A and B are shown apart, each in its own frame.
Chain A
Amino acid sequence: MKSHTRRRHSLATVVVAAAFAIALAVTPALPASANQISTGGTAAHGEVKYWPTARTNTYQYNTVRARLTYVTPGASLSLWVALRNSAGTTYARGNTAGAWATIVNDNGNYWNPPGTFYLNTQLVGSCVGAGCAWLAFEFDFAWNVPAPV
């Protein structure tokens, strides 16, 4: 019998869909089997969004990267992007302020192992004022890119 016990945390966790707006666009510059999207949404400053789409790295060594392309005008923020597997381990992270940033594995490798992950994003940096409760952002995201190992 498989039954799991869980630690409870006093975190503010909320379930929403309306704040997620997803758009897809394919960029042809990557290898045929690599994947890239342009997507975006809204979030409060500092809030971690857990995205629903499962994505899969299929190479032994996979490059994953992200590039922030838009954030609400006047907000000087960067985008933290992380990969989380279904088992609940966040295992790779990166930060982009505009340029492509590699999502680095927590073990220090610039490649990530095969498997399916879910995206986590967070707008980080200084933000003051009522507008920080609703920030729009867009970013490019590429995964399943064969890493030069």
Chain B
Amino acid sequence: MDAVWAKTTADWPAKLPSGVKFSDDAPLFFHPADGKANLFHEALPNLIAARYWRCAWIDEALRGNPAAWVELEQYESLPDVGTFVDQTAYDADFAAFAERSGSDPLSAEFAVDCGVFTDGSKEGNR
């Protein structure tokens, strides 16, 4: 999976914020330490890379970088996102969740859906 990940990120069609880069090896998502035979759908490297990319730009947006909002508009055009992510439903989900939790949608998303960006360096995967 590390080779697949390396190719995925080398060919990634959208830039990351300054000072942020994809990991060299595939994230923990692709390294389950369960000893089982694992069969990853071929879209998952793109989808996990897209999640990392999105979270990197959300982080920028929450830090007040106005350019981040422009970048985030590209999300749905990233590889496989249009096929496997229902962004309209996702946005509605997070609007509802943010309202219930007294937050704003972007902060709520970053808090609960950006572990691949914020926790990616942690070991101890299960």
Residues of A whose CB lies within 8 Å of any CB of B are: 1-9, 11-17, 19-20, 33, 43-44, 46-54, 56, 58-60, 84-90, 106, 113-116, 118, 122, 144
- Provide the bound-state CA to CA distance between A53 and B84, in Å: 5
B51: which A residues are within 8 A, CB to CB?
54, 86
Answer whether A8 and B2 are a contact pair too, CB < 8 Å, given A1-B20, A2-B21, A19-B39. Answer: yes
CB A144 to nearest CB in B, in angstroms, measures: 8
Compute how far the CA of A50 lies from the CA of B37 in the bound complex, rounded to whole angstroms: 11
With contact pairs A11-B36, A88-B32 given, residues A52 and B44 touching in the complex (Cβ less than 8 Å): yes
Place the interface of chain B in its size category.
35 or more
Chain B 1-40, CB-CB to A under 8 Å as 1, else 0, gives: 1101000000000000001110111111111111111111
Given contacts A16-B39, A46-B37, A53-B84, contact A6 B23 (CB under 8 A): yes
Are B23 and A52 touching (Cβ within 8 A)?
no
* A15-B42 in contact given A1-B19, A4-B25 (Cβ < 8 Å): yes
A86, B116: Cβ atoms closer than 8 Å: yes
CB distance from B5 to the nearest CB of A (A): 9
A84 to B96, CA, bound (A): 22
Residue contact A7 to B33, C-beta cutoff 8 Å:
yes
Q: Is the CB of B31 within 8 A of A48?
A: no
Q: Is the interface of A mostly helix, strand, loop or mixed?
A: loop
Query: B32 touching A86 by the CB < 8 A rule?
Result: no
Q: For the complex, what is the distance from the CA of A89 to the CA of B117, rounded to whole Å?
A: 13
**Most chain B CB within a 10 A radius of its CB, from A56, A106, A118, A122:** A56
State in angstroms the CA–CA spacing of A60 and B97 once bound together.
Answer: 8
Other 11 A-B pairs with CB < 8 A, given A106-B126, A116-B112: A3-B24, A6-B25, A11-B32, A16-B41, A48-B37, A52-B84, A60-B101, A85-B115, A87-B118, A89-B28, A115-B112
